[in-house]
Structure 1
Amino acid sequence: MEELRWGILSTANIAQEQVIPAIQRSKNGVVSAIASSSGRAGEVAEKFNIPTVYESYEDLLDDPNIDVVYIPLPNHLHQEWVIKAAKKGKHILCEKPVAINVEQAEEMVRVCREQNVTFMEAFMYQFHEQHNRVKEIIASGEIGEVKLLKGSFSFYLEGRDSNIRMDPKMGGGSLYDVGCYPLHVIRHILDSEPVTLFAAGEIDPQYGIDISAFGHMKMENGVNATFDCSFDMTNRSDYQVIGTKGVITVPRAYRPDVFEGGEGLIIVEANGQSREEFISTDQYVKQVEHIVESILAKQDPSYPGEKTILNMKVIDACYESMKTGRIVNL
């Protein structure tokens, strides 16, 4: 099987802990180079046996032996480096959220289209098979007609004084960092877009970012959806689908990789009975292999740029509603 050669832009923790190892576990990718502006590229290259080290992102993008780049830079830098990578002919996997507003996302997708490069936002969770199983259960009618979907993602953020998640100039805030997941899962599981949205936030008085956010959406298909996210609550990473006959709960929705073998869990309560289904998937490897397969087949990934724009539109609407205190029509 043909392998594509990856370049990594930055030594970010997510790259070291998840994506570089996933590329190395994949059947169709190899990590060929890494670049860092911090001077740590050599250290990380030695750790992961990466053959080529660059001290600037530009030098990596100029390497003709790199086919695809992974960009885990801070949110406010995504637009700049996605566009630069595209103009160098590199295919791109970019961490979420890809931008800090929909205008940036639209420009990034447009440039990638113009340069004929594949671009995908790294919502890795969607490649876990538990979500396809949830859709199957819904389609079977076991929980009846879906009336409500509730999504949550939170954790208690330590060391706030030195964390970029607290910096508004770098795209900080709970909605960008973790809230984007429940917003995405609502749209993904329901296969529907919101028509109205209301959101409220708790703004940190020192840093000026949303430390927590809460909201409601009415979807095109008539289903109601609620979401919440926070840097100020205990660990939660779940969603619930509530129907007229039962409930589906997915308690390991976004990070099942922290469980042995990437084991996801689905709890179905219907007809007075409850059961558990365990499904294992290496979601980071699936994500890597999917974008490489899409590049080799010269076709859009299952999560193309146009869907990224839609999710960014919803995030923008949340911030508009939080600022104005009003319902936003999408």
Structure 2
Amino acid sequence: MKTIRFGILSTAKIARTKVIPALQQGEYTTVDAICSRNEESARAAADELSIPKSYGSYEAMLNDPDIDAVYVPLPNHLHVKWSINAMAAGKHVLCEKPIGLDTEDANKLIDATSRYPHLKVMEGFMYRFHPQWIEAKRLVDEGEIGDLVTIQSFFSYFNDDPNNIRNMAAIGGGGLMDIGCYSISLSRFLFNAEPTRCCGFADRDPEFGTDRLFSGMMDFNGKVSTFTCSTQLSPYQRVNILGTDGRIEILIPFNAPPNAPTQIIVQRDRLEDEEDRIRTTTFGVCDQYTLQGDAFAKSIIDDTPVPTPLTDAWANMHTLEVLIESAGIGQWVVC
């Protein structure tokens, strides 16, 4: 069976703790190399994670002819630069979200893909590959909760480390870029549309200059998605999807554990039997990063479009920009 051999572009924590172990469990993926600006760091990570090759520079790994694809977990401001460098080296690219810092960044990447039409490039919104989200999308699309009217989502954690990249405004830190982008993505995913206008509110850390709390509203032609994200609150996450005839509550929507079942609550008001109106659906153990990696690898093997095209990444980034603009002027902004 053909597999896609991945190289990991840096020893970032998300790569070491989440993505590498997941890709190593994939049906169509292997992790064959990792690199760092520090050769010792690369070798230590390779030894810890049983990766065959390590490199002391990004360029050296990109020049390895035995690497088919690259995963890019770098800070946000480096996503586009190194995705393009990887393509120039003949590698397919799975890039962490958000795709860049702004739509200008996204446009650079999209323009670059036209020079390498044989290569696949995808933004890594892994949550969409989890069965709980596939089921939620199916229920919405098939009208099981009536007409979708509103979505409410919340995502928070606490991190006040000044040395953490998430607290560095100049390189794309802050709550909206790090975790608020999920709320934008899921809203567009479920409504299957783009917002017509947005309203944002940001509370900025006086030392870091990043948004430590961001709340937003997205108007989808009279239907609305609201969210709050924060980098300095008690850790919590939840998504509520409400329609005219029911609702869906996703209990662990984003950081679904790879080693435990997950659950969603589905309420369907039209059912005659009251006992059936509210039910809990349990999904078996799975790793959403493994599912994402396999789906991306299959698109390479079969030469089919990637599950999430870069046009989707551009649209998500555009909505991020509109929300930031709105928060700056304190009023609704048309998308």
Gaps of 5+ in 1: none
Partner of 1:87: 88
8 Å Cα contact 1:95-1:123 kept in structure 2: yes
Instruction: Tell me what 2:239 maps to.
Output: 239
Question: How many correspondences in the alignment?
Answer: 326
Could you say which residue in structure 2 is the equivalent of 1:141? Answer: 143
Q: Alignment partner of 1:202: what SS?
A: strand
Relative to the length of structure 1, the TM-score reads 0.95
Aligned partner letter, 1:59: A
Name the amino acid aligned to 1:66.
Answer: I
* CA apart distance, 1:176: 0.6
Residue 151 of structure 1 deviates from its aligned partner by 1.7
Pairing 1:1-330 to 2, within 5 Å after superposition: 1-38=1-38, 39-116=40-117, 117-157=119-159, 159-220=160-221, 222-257=222-257, 260-261=259-260, 263-271=261-269, 273-280=277-284, 281-330=286-335
State the one-letter code of the partner of 1:147: V
Q: Is the 8 A contact 2:132 2:263 kept in 1?
A: yes
Q: Which moved more, 1:137-146 or 1:57-66?
A: 137-146
AA aligned to 1:278 is T
Distance 1:196 1:92, change over 3 A: same
Alpha-carbon separation, structure 2, partners of 1:4 and 1:243: 41
Maintained 8 Å contact 2:132/2:264: yes
TM-score (norm 2): 0.94
Residue 250 of structure 2 aligns with an amino acid whose one-letter code is: V
Q: How far apart are residue 139 of structure 1 and its match?
A: 3.6
CA distance in 2, matches of 1:270, 1:3: 42
CA displacement 1:260-289 (0-9 Å, x = unmatched): 33x221112333642111113321111000
* Long gaps (5+) in structure 2: none
How far apart are residue 119 of structure 1 and its match?
A: 0.5
Larger deviation, residues 291-300 vs 264-273:
264-273
CA contact (8 A) 2:162 2:168 kept: no
The answer on whether the counterparts of 2:107 and 2:314 sit within 8 Å (CA) in structure 1 is yes
Root mean square deviation of aligned Cα = 1.4
CA positional deviation for 1:140: 4.1
For residues 170 and 161 of structure 1, what CA distance do their matches in structure 2 show?
Answer: 13
3-state SS, counterpart of residue 40 of structure 1: helix
CA deviations on 1:271-311 (whole Å, 9 max, x unpaired) are: 36421111133211110001110011112211011111010
SS at structure 1 position matched to 2:208: coil
1:76: Cα distance to partner?
A: 1.0
Say whether the 8 Å CA contact 1:147–1:243 is kept in structure 2: yes
- Counting aligned pairs with the same residue, the percent is 35
Q: After TM superposition, what 4+ stretches of structure 1 lie above 3 angstroms from structure 2?
A: 139-142
Of residues 24-33 and 236-245 in structure 1, the stretch that sits farther from structure 2 once superposed is 236-245
Structure 1 residue matching 2:257: 3-state secondary structure = helix
